[in-house]
Structure 1
Amino acid sequence: MLWGAQTFSGLGDGIFRVAQVALLLRLTGSAAALSGLLLTAVLPGIALALLGGALADRVDRRRLLVGANTVRGLLMAAFAGLALADAVQLWHLYALALLYGGVSALANPAFDALLPALVPRERLQEAQALFLLGDNVAAILGPALGGLLLALAGAGGAAAVNALSFGVLVAGLLSLRVGATPVPPGPRPSVWADIGSGLRYARTQPALLSLLTLFAVINLSGATLAVALPLLVTETLGQPAATYGLYLTAMNVGILGGGALMGAVRVRRRGLAILGSLFAAGLLGYLPLALSREVGVGLVAVLLIDGLAMVSNVLYPAWVGTHVPDGYRGRVFGLTSLVGYSLVPVGFAVAGAAAGTLGPPPALLGAGFLLMTVAGLGLLVPALRRLE
């Protein structure tokens, strides 16, 4: 039930995202305002990720998630009321993005840390793949349904559906039969002390630090792909914008195929699998995409890139869930979120500068060689080679 509720909630987010952008463009018609809105949604994740991780290790995770998703649902319901009354102003959109992003940043580490308590240790990889598949199916279908719902019921209807999806998610969380998050006896240190102890724990774990480094490189390469691909298709290849849609479809097929494969095949040597997927993504994905001028080659390349990305996206949280002590798990996922959130603006800025200065093919070549180099260096790290 939780998987279905989480997927439906992700679908609601995708539906609302279309309405959110449409409202902003109707109010301003400004690309700068849209960039500001996207940045506003990311900033709380940078500011609050570590705090969210510490909370996930201090309080009952299920209760934290119930409270956070109740707040998100109420925020969305209030916004739906404003939209249905045609009373939305620009500051409402920014305020919603800030509050919604903040609550999400506080809640996300708790969900990641809770999942290992719901399934047997030996089935965690399959569970991670299943939830990730649900998230990606929602990300694919949500915007399409959002466009349809926007035409039929307006932005208020889209927001109302998203509010309803949080009610479904809260019901799914309440239905769980899971023990309370264990809390050490005696007086607890402050939350800031917990954040500090979590960072000190991470510094003593070579495998974790190596995986976080790989995660950062994957995010930087992904940002390069997101920025350079539309320019490559329309400018370098001279294709119509509709062809870019084919590339996005191929990427989605890769995501779904990679997720299904990771759910079906149990991986024992996780470190080697992650390093191998990075090297293969660079060699078989980024390099052909940059060097070939054939659309067919490019479609296969992006399919492989996103399919191979699912290897690390599934195996990393599965490794954390099985190897990091429960008392530190929330803080490790909070640190992971911080790395991911922080690299969004940095990655897009670097990728934009590289693609704008050198052109899309050199930028993609650089991303491919970066992945291959880091994967090769990773083989020199014993903690990564032996990762299981």
Structure 2
Amino acid sequence: MKSTPSSPAPAKTDSPWAPLAARVFRALWIAQLVSNIGSWMQTVGAQWLLVGHGAALVTLVQTAASLPVVLLALPSGVIADRFDRRSVLLAAQFAMLAVSGTLAVLAFTDSLSPTLLLVLTFLLGGGTALMGPAWQAIQPELVERRRLGQAAALGAVNMNLARAVGPALGGALVAAAGAGWVFAFNAASYLGIAAVLLVWRRPPTAAPGTGNEGLLAALHAGRRYVWNAPGVRRVLLRTLLFVPGGAALWALLPLTASRSLGLGSGGYGLLLGAVGVGAVAGAFTLPRVRRVLGANGTLAAGAVVFAGVLAVLATVRTPWLVAAALLPGGLAWIAVLSTLNAAVQTRLPGWVRARGLAVYLLVFQGGQALAAPLWGALAGRLGLSGSLLTAGAVMLLSAASVRRWPLHDPEGINPSPSDHWPAPPLVFEPGEADGPVLVSVVYRVPAGNRAEFTDRMHHVARSRRRTGALTWGLYQDGSEPERFVETYLISSWAEHLAQHHVRLTATDRDHEERARELLTPGTLPEVTHAFDTTSGPAVRQRTNVGAPGSGP
């Protein structure tokens, strides 16, 4: 099966459903919907089995599902960047099938203790952690880049449509036949995604940007990119400011349903379903909301609405009023998360996409995993109402912080690859492991341009660090003030070749060109590559001055 993105008429380009015209994306979306319904059915079953064991154990279900992402997201991102992402996804599906099947067997035989339930939920979370970065990273292979925002919104619609259906089905099934059947359905639901992935003939691709580097080196490369991409860091900050308060709803809703509203498992499922219905309905209004409010207005409004929903949960004891309040809660949740997801997707180049998304998932899931037990503990001290009102206050602070820390990319990163550096003309062939490599670039800058040149080179510095530089410096020659020397250190020759041919983006090229506009007319940068002579097996002639104008 081959993904063939459609070419709709211009009037339909912005349709929120446009990505579904891509055949593989559509098939995976439908299979994921079934799987997500199974996951929500299982969540209801797991939480309801623990309702009688206290608030702490109930909230630990969310922690057990999210904590593996905190522990495994970054290694999973490296795996998704190094290996075939289709194979990674298949391995995750079959692993989660095995764990869910075990849960079902234990439930049917009345052998499922709270400890075993939490342990197996944790293992399922491990499968989710393995799957997450690879799943997010294949989206640009399935739909056109200009539709990644719509694809992210459809992913949120998928989850919330499942939330609208799954909890109600799960609650009814638990009440009618027991938790074992919801676990069994969830196990079978993984087969649909596996079937689509097995049919999909993904073109074989080399693992971009990792070369032969080990796990730790690849992790450091991903960390360097994220740290030196201000726009990505800002998405992570906004996620961190929203998720902890939002986690209170998911952690405390089962307790609210049972203790405050006197509902059974079916009623709890209907409350979760109301959130899902609101989110699905929100998908139709979200494009208009974003046009009117913009990305930052959407984030602020979503947090305010969510705070209001938490206040209703804390004070209202009428089930239908609570269900009505949860409808805008679902809309606010999808509005914020789809905005954040689309922002991080469009700011990451292909070579580090899975690792960057792994960091995003780490912050998102980690915020939920760490916040959920805190809300449970707070509920034990202040009561449910006090804990929910505190969470609402946290959400209002999140909304107020948008003005101080808006969703903003100061560099306007265009992640399209740019192979604009020519191969360095060395007099010998270095080995991939040779290094460190010291790259020096000499510039001639007239007196009137030096301050502006130095300012523009700060953007070049971030570019070098994003793509692999361990250190960076810019020096002015004391005897020739017009002579500036840029130096940066790369861990190996393989890393530097990855800079040349894989890691550079259109934004990196633009920053270099803007800095070079200020050079003395008629001069070009002079590039030198120097190799460490102390760590190799032999001392060789390891320097070469590139031809003027050659790339680093």
* TM-score (normalised: structure 1): 0.81
Match of 1:30 in 2: 53
Q: Supply the AA of the counterpart residue of 1:367.
A: V
Q: Quote how far apart the aligned CAs of 1:353 are.
A: 7.0
Relative distance call for 1:300 and 1:257 in structure 2 (3 A) is same
More helix by share: 1
Alignment of 1:5 with 2:31, yes or no, is: yes
Distance apart, 1:289 and its partner CA: 7.0
Given the alignment of the two structures, is residue 320 of structure 1 paired with residue 344 of structure 2, yes or no? yes
Match of 2:43 in 1: 17
Q: Which residue of 2 aligns with 1:212?
A: 236
Compute the displacement of 1:275 (Å): 1.2
Instruction: Within 5 Å, give how 1:257-268 maps onto structure 2.
Output: 257-262=281-286
Q: CA 1:317–1:329 in 2, change beyond 3 Å: closer, same or farther?
A: same
Q: Could you tell which deviates more after superposition, 48-57 or 151-160?
A: 151-160
Residue 108 to residue 282, structure 1, CA distance change in 2 (3 Å) = closer
Contact persistence 1:76–1:159 (CA under 8 A): yes
1:370 alignment partner, one of 386, 389, 397: 397
SS in 1 for 2:212: coil
- Alpha-carbon distance between aligned partners in 2 of 1:22 and 1:247, rounded to the nearest angstrom: 14
Deviates more, 1:167-176 or 1:316-325: 316-325
Structure 2 SS opposite 1:383: coil
Match of 2:332 in 1: 308
Equivalent residue, structure 1, for 2:386 = 359
Q: Which has the higher contact order (CA 8 A, sep 6+)?
A: 1
**Partners of 1:228 and 1:364 within 8 A in 2:** no
> What residue number does 1:223 align with?
247
Residues 37 and 94 in structure 1, CA contact (< 8 A), matched pair in contact too: yes
Checking the alignment, whether the CA contact within 8 Å between 1:46 and 1:342 is kept in structure 2 is yes
Give the CA deviation at 1:193. 1.3
Following superposition, the deviation at residue 340 of structure 1 comes to: 1.7
Structure 1 pair 63–268 and aligned structure 2 pair: CA distance change class (3 A): farther
Q: Verify the 8 A CA contact 1:251 1:303 in the aligned structure 2.
A: yes
Structure 1 residue 334: Cα displacement = 0.8
1:279 to 294, 297, 300: 300
Q: Secondary structure at the match of 1:324?
A: coil
Query: Which letter does structure 1 place at the counterpart of 2:121?
Result: A
The 3 A distance-change label for structure 1 pair 267 and 120 is farther
Distance (Å, rounded) in 2 between the aligned partners of 1:108 and 1:78: 22
Deviation at 1:46, TM superposition (A): 1.5
Is the 1:281–1:304 Cα contact (8 Å) retained in structure 2? no
Q: Would you say 1:106 and 2:130 are equivalent positions? A: yes
Aligned counterpart for 1:199 among listed residues 223, 231, 248:
223
- Give percent identity, aligned residues only: 30
Asked whether the equivalents of residues 116 and 322 of structure 1 are also in contact (C-alpha less than 8 Å), the reply is no
Matched residue type, 1:19: G
Pairwise CA distance, 1:333: 1.2
Q: Classify 1:140/1:93 alpha carbon distance in 2 versus 1 (closer, same or farther; 3 Å).
A: same
1:321 is displaced (CA, Å) by: 2.9
Local SS of the residue matching 1:103: helix
Q: Which runs of no fewer than 5 residues in structure 2 stay unpaired?
A: 1-26, 415-552
Q: Which residue of 1 aligns with 2:442?
A: none
CA contact (8 A) 2:306 2:392 kept: no
Q: How does 1:326-365 map to 2 (within 5 A)?
A: 326-348=350-372, 351=375, 359=386, 363=390
Residues 273, 311 of structure 1: 8 Å contact kept: no
CA 1:67/1:267 → structure 2, altered by over 3 Å: closer, same or farther?
A: same
Q: Judging changes above 3 Å, is the alpha-carbon distance between structure 1 residues 185 and 231 closer, same or farther for their aligned structure 2 residues?
A: closer
**Shift in Å at residue 343 of structure 1?**
1.4
Which residue does 2:544 correspond to in 1?
none
Larger of the two Rg values belongs to structure: 2
Asked if 1 retains the 8 angstrom alpha-carbon contact of 2:60 and 2:373, the reply is no
Match of 1:66 in 2: 90
Residue 440 of structure 2 corresponds to: none
- Deviation of the 1:173 alpha carbon: 1.7
SS in structure 1 at match of 2:39: helix
Question: In 2 relative to 1, CA 39–143 (structure 1 residues): closer, same or farther, beyond 3 Å?
Answer: same
Per the alignment, residue 165 of structure 1 pairs with: 189
Q: Does the 8 Å contact 2:345/2:357 carry over to 1? A: no
Inter-partner Cα distance in structure 2 for 1:361 and 1:95: 27
- Residues 328 and 94 (structure 1 numbering): CA distance in 2 closer, same or farther, change over 3 Å? same
CA drift of 1:207 comes to 0.8
What is the distance in 1 between the residues matched to 2:198 and 2:136? 17
SS in 1 for 2:178: helix
Bigger strand share = 2
Q: Distance in 1 between matches of 2:254 and 2:168?
A: 20
- Mapped contact 1:290–1:365 kept (Cα < 8 A): yes
Q: 1:366 to 1:185 in 2, by over 3 A?
A: closer
Q: What secondary structure is seen at the aligned counterpart in 2 of 1:359?
A: helix
Q: Structure 1 residues 131 and 228 mapped into 2: Cα distance closer, same or farther (>3 Å)?
A: closer
Cα displacement (A) at 1:383 = 2.3
- Residue 172 of structure 1 and its aligned partner are, at CA, apart by 1.7
Classify the secondary structure of the residue corresponding to 1:109: helix
d(CA) in 2 for partners of 1:362, 1:18: 24
Give the partner amino acid of 1:325: P
Task: Tell me, in whole angstroms, the C-alpha distance in 1 between the residues paired with 2:308 and 2:103.
Answer: 45
Give the Å deviation of 1:349.
5.3
1:351–1:363 CA contact under 8 A, matched in 2: no
Report the Cα offset of residue 109 of structure 1.
1.1
Retained in 2: the 8 A contact 1:289–1:301?
Answer: no
How far off its partner does 1:241 sit?
A: 4.8
State how far apart, in whole Å, the 2-side matches of 1:304 and 1:83 are: 35
**CA, structure 1 residues 16+310, in 2 after alignment: closer, same or farther (shift >3 Å)?**
closer
Whole-Å separation in 2 of the counterparts to 1:125 and 1:369 = 26
Change (3 A) 1:120 1:94: same
In structure 2, the CA distance between the partners of 1:306 and 1:122, relative to structure 1 (3 Å rule), is: same
1:352-376 Cα offsets, whole Å, 9 max, x none, are 6777559368625622431232111
Specify the SS of the correspondent of 1:45.
helix
Matched, 1:118 2:142: yes
SS at match of 1:149: helix
Residue by residue over 1:15-72, the C-alpha shift from the partner in whole angstroms, topping out at 9 and shown as x without a partner, is 22333345556xxx42254444543333322111111111111111111001110111
Q: CA RMSD in A?
A: 3.9
